[in-house]
Amino acid sequence: MSANEKRILLVEDEKAIRDAVAAYFERDERENYIVRGVGDGQSAVEEFEKYPFDIVILDLMLPKLSGERVCRSIRETSNVPIIMLTAKGEVEDRIIGLELGADDYLIKPFSPRELVARVRALLRRAHAESEPQLEVLDFGDLVIDISGHKVTICDEEIDLTASEFKLLTTLARFPGRVYTRMELVEKVLGYDFEGYERTIDSHVKNLRAKLGDDPRNPRWLYTVHGVGYRFESPDKGDKAKAARARAN
Ligand code: CA
């Protein structure tokens, strides 16, 4: 395996789509994509256990094991970027996909060009996150170790997907600043196609669940109605208050 190889697991039961997508990626001259195509969910899970992949393109409606189940299974062991493919109209289904921890979705029929753009963006982001940056954001109970790609609450590590991590670090770098959904789409997903703002809502929902942050009584992640989201750091304030109380 050469260092710049990018291994894609493509899970799609329609052979015509599978072949066309694989051919499109393998024709790309700028990147060395290796596509492994499988036609059902069971094979996808088996293949993923056998080989390391850099990214997974996953159709939602699949024989044997649904895309939903495959996504859940992969997420038990890996934070590999996952793009879900869904048919037009399956709005609820694609939201389910994101709630299961997929990083992105694309509605069929899609242009292979757009799929390649999404894959590039996700791979670039995954790569950027694996680069060492010495940065730790300490909010008391919540500590975000950006260099170690690790988030802990009261010293307990919590497991975030690439999108959730990016979302959290984007917001937490500037506590109090309000980000619109569109800004977050750009920063977290790396592109600015319209209509993907709801993706952010799903990621926020997942992130809140993992942080144990109650949206009705938030500690960190605040909804700014009609606009977007902001991060607050109550613990730091509490600590400062406690320090002042001790000093008095
Ligand atoms: Ca299908």
Beta bridge partners of 183: none
| pLDDT of 173 higher than 80 | yes
Q: How far is the CA of 86 from the centre of ligand 1 (A)?
A: 8
Closest by CA position to 81, among listed 159, 183, 8: 8
Whose structure tokens read 């879900």? 84
Determine the distance separating the centroid of ligand 1 and the alpha carbon of 180, expressed in angstroms: 34
- Find all residues with CB under 8 Å of 116, minimum gap 6, and list them: 24, 25, 28
Taking residues 226-230, report their average pLDDT.
Answer: 91
Q: In angstroms, what is the span from residue 87 Cα to ligand 1's centroid?
A: 8
More confident: 204 or 175: 204
Tell me which residues have their CB within 5 A of the ion that is ligand 1: 13, 59, 61
Q: How far is the CA of 153 from the centre of ligand 1 (A)?
A: 39
Distance 12 CA to ligand 1 centre (A): 6
Mean confidence (pLDDT) of the chain:
85
pTM exceeding 0.75: no
Interval 147-165 mean pLDDT: 91
Report the distance separating Cα 217 and Cα 23, nearest Å: 50
Task: Give pLDDT tens digits for 34-69.
Answer: 999 999 999 999 999 988 899 999 999 899 999 989
Compute the distance from residue 236 Cα to the ligand 1 centre, in Å. Answer: 48
Q: What pLDDT, on a 0 to 100 scale, did the predictor assign at position 1?
A: 45
Distance 197 CA to ligand 1 centre (A): 25
pLDDT tens digits, one per residue of 103-122? 888 888 888 889 999 999 99
Q: Could you write out the DSSP letters of every residue in the chain?
A: --TTEEEEEEE-S-HHHHHHHHHHHHH-SSSEEEEEEESSHHHHHHHHHHS--SEEEEESS-SSS-HHHHHHHHHHH----EEEEEETT-HHHHHHHHHTT-SEEEEES--HHHHHHHHHHHHHHHHHHHS----EEEETTEEEETTTTEEEETTEEE---HHHHHHHHHHHHSTT-EEEHHHHIIIIIS---TT-HHHHHHHHHHHHHHHT--TTS-SSEEEETTTEEEE--HHHHHHHHHHHHHH-
Terminal C-alpha separation, the chain: 63
Cβ atoms < 10 Å from Cβ of 158: 15
Minimum mean pLDDT range among 14-28, 71-85, 93-107, 233-247: 233-247
